[in-house]
A and B are shown apart, each in its own frame.
Chain A
Amino acid sequence: ETGVTQTPRHLVMGMTNKKSLKCEQHLGHNAMYWYKQSAKKPLELMFVYNFKEQTENNSVPSRFSPECPNSSHLFLHLHTLQPEDSALYLCASSPRVNEQYFGPGTRLTVT
């Protein structure tokens, strides 16, 4: 147990649906991250928040919309996704960029 939780663990959604992924960390870290992990590809950094402020948006399509209401919570709002967006979405937190602790992930399938 790394102290980073994610819900839901599995999500199936249609291309016209709107859903949200939730991440919560209980480690007192200042930075939180969203990553996408697809088969045969490296982990792709999507968004970075430091002290609730977004510090990086790695050219992510606007159908993914992050929200960080406080330093313990991070959301990823999804709308009008494409089948190629099906992947494992991982949240991580860190006291500094070096040591990132991952949540269990949300396995997303877009139909």
Chain B
Amino acid sequence: QKEVEQNSGPLSVPEGAIASLNCTYSDRGSQSFFWYRQYSGKSPELIMSIYSNGDKEDGRFTAQLNKASQYVSLLIRDSQPSDSATYLCAVNSNEKLTFGTGTRLTIIP
């Protein structure tokens, strides 16, 4: 079983709609969770972090964490073409950050 799993996509969402990205992880002891955005040919950029159950909002982005179900999600409201990128989920377990393979998101104008 992969430690951090994401649907590789591609996920296509119309401009202005909500994009929903999901991630599951295997280690119940994981303490913190992150979303990175990676544009094609660029390096990953940290966009959200979440440490406790529930929702965390930052602008158009909302991270959701459910430790009991071992999943973390990222919602992007009012999706823009500039949101088209690969989104990497990362999980901190035992002071080690493990990444998923990423979900490729395409926003359709």
Contact = CB atoms under 8 A, between A and B. Distances in A.
Interface of A: 2, 40-43, 45, 56, 90, 97-105
Interface string B40-53: 00111110010000
A42 B100 CA distance: 5
B46 to A, nearest CB: 6
B49 A99 contact: yes
Secondary structure dominating the interface of B: strand
A41 B4 CA distance: 12
B101 A99 contact: no
A43 B44 contact: yes
A56 B19 CA distance: 36
A97 B98 CA distance: 11
Contacts of A100: 46, 97
Given A42-B4, A43-B88, A99-B49, A90 B96 contact: no
Given A56-B96, A97-B92, A97-B96, A42 B101 contact: yes
Interface in B27-48: 32, 34, 42-46
Contacts of B96: 45, 56, 97
B99 interface: yes
A97 B95 contact: yes
Nearest to B99: A43
B49 A102 contact: no
B32 A90 contact: no
Interface string B70-109: 0000000000000000001000100111111110000000
5 contacts: A40-B8, A40-B101, A45-B98, A56-B96, A97-B97
Contacts of B34: 98-99
A43 B96 CA distance: 12
A105 B4 CA distance: 23
A59 B2 CA distance: 18
Given A99-B46, A104-B43, A105-B43, A45 B97 contact: yes
